Amino acid sequence: MPAITLDTLRAGDSATIVTIHAEAALHQRLLALGFRSGRQIELIRKASFSGPLQVRIGTTDILLRLAEAAKIKVCKT
């Protein structure tokens, strides 16, 4: 499976996080929220008008914008 970015997933898709290409501050925040290489991530829903995504990692639900999601490479499972 080739790696794609998180923002291209569709609602209901599950994937594994491959890498995170974010600047230091965002990287820290994502790490603290549970984004780590190898972890399972599920896209719950996307907001209308290209709004934010709702994703689930473990027991935590997180909102993030498409721009931030594009910095996260994932592998569909």
Binding site for another protein (CB under 8 A): 24-26, 28-34, 36, 45, 47-52, 54, 57-65, 67-68
- Cα end-to-end span (Å), the chain: 8
Whole-angstrom Cα distance, residue 77 to residue 64?
A: 21
Nearer to another protein, 2 or 32 (CB): 32
Nearer to another protein, 2 or 24 (CB): 24
- Nearest approach, Cβ of residue 48 and another protein (Å): 5
Identify whether the C-beta of residue 18 lies closer than 8 Å to the C-beta of residue 10. no
